[in-house]
Structure 1
């Protein structure tokens, strides 16, 4: 049972790994649309799609009688509130493996979506649909979240139903290593948003933002970039933060119960009458930590969550960019950001969804910092020296980002340019 802050700290300590055992976990989401009328797919179409994926070895995962996910070894395909699909990849050693996994997944998806009249959109925000047009699904927790989340943030339903992102999970080898990595990943959030901006079209119009997804996440319940994350945030401070954070829901005897009246500390103190005052298990703690929607968060690893979803050509670039710095070159990256002013970082964070590379941070624009971080990442990937069968190291996955920086043109800019020519919806779909 989890009954004290020390138990939460021990949970974080149990994630400590020897650097030779560091792994990479990647999660990425996609929108699915019906070819016939440009509407988002409903749950009945999802069931057909999940059934068709069975031929590739995917096994169904049920909640009561409803299929809500697929599993294939260490990989899972899960269902988001508006029937976005997410691949939670296997735990892998390097970006070559991760990119191969994504390409295999793309191949399988293409076989199935073509057969079922479905098209994929790889963007950070749904460029077509209004919120009221998006179908839901019977996953129990989403019904409760749809009711409770808007109470704490005006764009919470947009986050749930109309956003897609790419997430990277990385390890730490000590509490000191966690503190250093957590400061780095929080400090570079504005740069990450600028580099991976890919949500400029909303409801078939230019939104005025390069990353509308990031704008939405800033106005989402339980989200944001807390100022306290910059204050040498150790396991004790994160545990304190987490246990005093409101619970989103509690999974109790197969039912989801709203936690909006309670903090996790109330749970630990046995003060929740609706569940018979039972105490939380480690599973309850994991669930709670997974429903804190900050830009980065801690479980038994660090989750980086600031990247818009992007097309298959750039899918591996985000993980490569971050792995190069965090695993290959953490000391030099930390030295760069260690004296940055947290208020200036947060100000850049608030401005970057609209201003992109033109956002100022510590007297330079984010294009400058993107170039600098790319150099540090490139050096880190060279240091790692993981080679593919052609003898190429992981730096090949930075090519997409090098082009963005050289041309000063993000995925969002390309989307605006293509769509603005004739406002043809076809330009929004993956080709």
Structure 2
């Protein structure tokens, strides 16, 4: 489908409306070479991916004959710029299924790592490697990003090569439902950063932040939490937002080309200097994926503010958001109705350093976290998804509960050990 107007983009977002309320989770991890104690180079990664193919039946994804990822039954494995390995999970009904998927992938990853002398590290920011020593891979888009991204944000390369996060993807059932979910996700961004902070170390020393990953993303091109996101967003406003956004690159003949600071509007009007064609829905999807905001709209919603963490908390962030967004949306919205937008933005910038002590509307994130934890628990109980051990989805909130009861993030525990 060609995208010629704002209405075409609105129709694109509307085509994402569905009633299923499925959950998709994406997790990134760093890989290290056991023999050298350095991040895994692309040649190491190729061997690891081959193990997934021969041992577990995954199918290869190539770009210009380079192995850049894998796919299997609705799931995919991709490589981030610094060879962080990312699992993009299938769309699933409940957190029990999500956690089984993550657990099964982790077992396969551990096995493949053992066979290739690699090991994984699940944290929001690489705590040991200097940026200049980070590895790379031959994905074409990353070459363009490496050249262009630093022009718009001083820590853009740190974001690309040194960070890992957890992303939660969720559905909307109507435009009105989208508006409510988008608002809640944006308002809760400081809480996500504060509660799930797990990246306090930079080059073997304390960074001065509990979530250095979040600090980096705040200083990355095309990223952040735009003030317009805290206003009443709808499909039209989001379409206007992305139309005016510069193109990072376009894909033509299976190759990527720099967008030259022209906008998607130029593309729609056939005015690109390098390409006079009209964009398709595939081009629109590519453009949407190059907007790196904390919350993002495609044909579903993405929460992108959670630091990556070890196995015992992988399911906590997705469970927390599922209870709020799918289980108790109206009650959650009622809590934030008096929050001031300027306070949220202040909290957003404070939360990477202050963590649970960040203030919003005269309460700390620790206090708000306990309130939203109870709302999430109640929401998950309402959903009534029970596993074989007769447990509902609230079992996955234990990690969040521990953080709030101990008044201590994972980042602070790491600093104590350091």
Normalised by the length of structure 2, the TM-score is 0.99
1:200 alignment partner in structure 2: 200
Q: Distance in 2 between matches of 1:365 and 1:335?
A: 18
Does the 8 A contact of 2:248 with 2:261 survive in 1? no
Other structure's SS at 1:87 match: strand
User: Number of residues paired by the alignment?
Assistant: 416
**What residue is the counterpart of 1:424 in the other structure?**
none
RMSD, aligned α-carbons: 0.7
Secondary structure at 2:172 match in 1 = coil
- Cα deviation, residue 37, structure 1: 2.4
Output one character per residue of 1:252-287: Cα deviation in whole Å (capped at 9) or x when no partner: 111211114211000001001312x00000000001
1:154 matched to which residue of 2? Answer: 154
Q: How far apart in 2 are the matches of 1:258 and 1:80?
A: 19
Separation in 1, partners of 2:353, 2:273: 45
Is residue 153–residue 220 contact of structure 2 (8 Å, CA) maintained in 1?
A: yes
Equivalent residue for 1:234?
234
Structure 2 Cα separation of the partners of residues 100 and 359 of structure 1: 34
Asked if structure 2 preserves the Cα contact closer than 8 Å seen for 1:193 and 1:211, the reply is yes
The reply on whether 1:12 has 2:8 as its aligned counterpart is no
Contact 2:10–2:239 (CA under 8 A) maintained in structure 1: yes
Quote the residue 2:183 is aligned against.
183
Runs (5+) with no aligned partner, structure 2: none
Query: How many angstroms apart in 2 are the aligned matches of 1:231 and 1:225?
Result: 11
Task: Flag as ranges the 4+ runs of structure 1 deviating above 6 A.
Answer: none
| SS of 1:16 mapped into structure 2 | coil
Cα shift at 1:34: 1.0
Task: Tell me whether 1:167 sits opposite 2:167 in the alignment.
Answer: yes
Q: Please give the TM-score of this superposition, normalised by the length of structure 1.
A: 0.96
Q: How does 1:4-83 map to 2 (within 5 A)?
A: 4-18=5-19, 21-54=20-53, 55-83=55-83
Distance, in Å, in 2 between the alignment partners of 1:409 and 1:38 is 29
Quote how far apart the aligned CAs of 1:104 are.
Answer: 0.3
Cα distance in 1, alignment partners of residues 196 and 150 from structure 2: 26
The whole-number CA distance in structure 1 between the counterparts of 2:384 and 2:409 is 28
Matched, 1:125 2:125: yes
SS in 2 for 1:261: coil
Distance in 2 separating the partners of 1:365 and 1:313 = 25
Q: Which moved more, 1:121-130 or 1:258-267?
A: 258-267
Aligned to 2:412: 413
- How far does residue 118 in structure 1 lie from its aligned partner after superposition? 1.0
- Counterparts of 1:296-307 in structure 2, within 5 Å, are 296-307=295-306
The Cα shift of 1:240 comes to 0.3
Q: CA deviation at 1:373?
A: 0.7
Give the Å deviation of 1:335: 0.7
How far has the Cα of 1:69 moved from its partner? 0.2
Contact kept, 8 Å, 1:148 with 1:260, in 2: the verdict is no
Distance 1:211 1:205 in 2: 14
1:144 alignment partner, SS class: helix
Find the aligned partners of 2:116 and 2:366 in 1 and give their Cα distance: 42
Measure the CA separation in 2 of the matches of 1:230 and 1:358.
22
Q: In the TM superposition, what is the alpha-carbon distance from 1:115 to its structure 2 partner?
A: 2.0
Q: Work out whether residues 3 and 279 of structure 1, in 8 Å CA contact, stay in contact via their aligned partners in 2.
A: yes
- In structure 1, C-alpha distance between the alignment counterparts of 2:234 and 2:415, rounded to whole Å: 41
Correspondence 1:2 to 2:16: no
Give the whole-Å Cα distance in 2 for the aligned partners of 1:71 and 1:183: 33
SS in 2 for 1:70: strand
The whole-number CA distance in structure 1 between the counterparts of 2:261 and 2:56 is 44
Q: Deviations over 1:149-201 (max 9, x none)?
A: 00100000000000000000001111111111111000010011011100001
